[in-house]
Amino acid sequence: MQTKTNPLSTAIKKYFPIVCILMLLFAFWTGGCGSFSIFEAGVSPETDAAGTLTVHFIDVGQGDAIFIQAPENNILIDGGERNSGVADYLQNRGVTSLNLVLSTHPHNDHIGGLLAVLENIPVQEVIDPGVVHTTKTFEDYLTLIDTQDIKFTVGRAGLTRDLGEGLTMQVLHPADPSASNLNDASLVTKFTFGKVSFLFTGDAEEKSEALLLSSNYPLQSTILKVGHHGSSSSTSAPFLEAVNPVCAVIMVGADNRYEHPHAETLQTLAAAGVNVYRTDLQGTITITTDGETFHLEHEKNNP
Ligand SMILES: [Zn+2]
């Protein structure tokens, strides 16, 4: 969907995925190598990946929607606002069923677009943090899970799933959520495929990050979905240091009223040397991996 290509933007587009791959290889070959060992405390083991995993960070404006196309499973994390077009995005790619839908927390910019998904695409199971919200959207969401007879699981830290062909999912948070702070009730999940891992944080804020840091969970991840659309209330420097990602994705709408992403967050990421991609600038961002290296593509070429 690019409208204009100039040599510089083409070079940037070509260059960044290579940088990501080189940095990843560098991390494995040098000091970072040991950090992927199963013997190191708090670091998840590599898995035996087979096939290809594709993760789509779908541009839904201000909101999250992440589609994980795994060898044996189709998984969706959040759906953006109502009418986000996520159901169409999936159907246009020939997705006829979803094995798993994770809704990180009940805010509209995460569950709104799930309504059309639950209505139109067969879903085997929904996992959410089990906190309630007093909105029509949340009520409709619960009604659909019920009427479509979808298996419902409350996600709690410690829940793990083997998703086949070397893909594993771990729920790292919440352990004890409160409906009084829905952002901090966000499901935080880590997906590991071979040597490549993804940390999906929903809108979890610093309080959740502090709990995660005090836990024994393996936070280090190759790719970080930045918490809460790049708000300064998330992505504390100690948390980012523990995750130590090669690339970070901020899911955010252009000119949003919260002024996300905040300058502090961008500075924290820049200071840590993380390559940052943003859906407001680059549109849908797609990462493909064989479990050894990964390749990143984006829809638009804005810097
Ligand atoms: Zn949100």
pLDDT at 98: 98
- Residue 242: inside a domain, yes or no? yes
In a domain, 253, yes or no: yes
Distance 49 CA to ligand 1 centre (A): 31
CA distances from residue 257 to 44, 61, 127, 229, 260 in whole angstroms, order as listed: 38, 12, 29, 12, 8
Instruction: For residue 74, report the distance from its CA to the centre of ligand 1, in Å.
Output: 22
Amino acid 179: pLDDT: 86
Statement: residue 107 has pLDDT above 70: yes
137 assigned to some structural domain: yes
Q: How far is the CA of 230 from the centre of ligand 1 (A)?
A: 10
Q: Which two tokens stand for residue 88?
A: 């169409």
Report yes or no on 194 lying in a domain. yes
**CATH value at residue 122:** 3.60.15.10
Q: How confident is the model at residue 29 (pLDDT cuts 50, 70, 90)?
A: very low
Task: Return the pLDDT at 92.
Answer: 97
Q: How far is the CA of 80 from the centre of ligand 1 (A)?
A: 8
Answer whether residue 175 shows pLDDT above 60: yes
Predicted TM-score (pTM) of the model is 0.86
pLDDT exceeds 70 at position 11 = no
SS3 content of the chain, % helix, strand, coil (to 5): 30, 25, 45
Give 94-135 as a DSSP string. Answer: T---EEEEE--SS-HHHHTTHHHHHHHS-EEEEEE------S
Q: What is the pLDDT of residue 301?
A: 87
User: What local confidence, expressed as pLDDT, does residue 24 receive?
Assistant: 46
Structural domain includes residue 43: no
Q: Quick check: is 273 in a domain? A: yes
133 to 99, 113, 223, 273: CA distances (angstroms): 25, 16, 30, 38
Distance 109 CA to ligand 1 centre (A): 5
What pLDDT does residue 227 have? 98
Ligand 1 geometric centre to CA of 106 (Å): 9
Q: Sign of torsion, CA 126 170 112 184?
A: positive
Mean per-residue pLDDT for 149-167?
97
What integer pLDDT is reported at residue 18 of this predicted model? 53
Please tell me the total count of domains within the chain: 1
Note down the domain range covering 97: 8-32+51-298
Using 50, 70 and 90 to split pLDDT, how confident is the model at 13? Answer: low
Percent of the chain beyond pLDDT 70? 85
* 64 C-alpha to ligand 1 centroid (Å): 7
Higher pLDDT, 169 or 16: 169
Given a cut of 80, is residue 217 above it in pLDDT? yes
Name residue, tokens 């880590």.
190
User: Is pLDDT of 34 > 50?
Assistant: no
Helix (H) or strand (E) run with residue 56 in it = strand 53-57
Which pLDDT does position 35 carry in this prediction?
28
What's the rounded Cα separation, in Å, for the pair 231 and 235? 8
Quote the ligand 1 centre to 9 CA distance (angstroms). Answer: 30
297 Cβ contact list (under 8 Å, min separation 6): 17, 285, 286, 287, 288
- The answer to the question of residue 261 being in a domain is yes
Classify residue 3: in a domain, yes or no: no
186 C-alpha to ligand 1 centroid (Å): 10
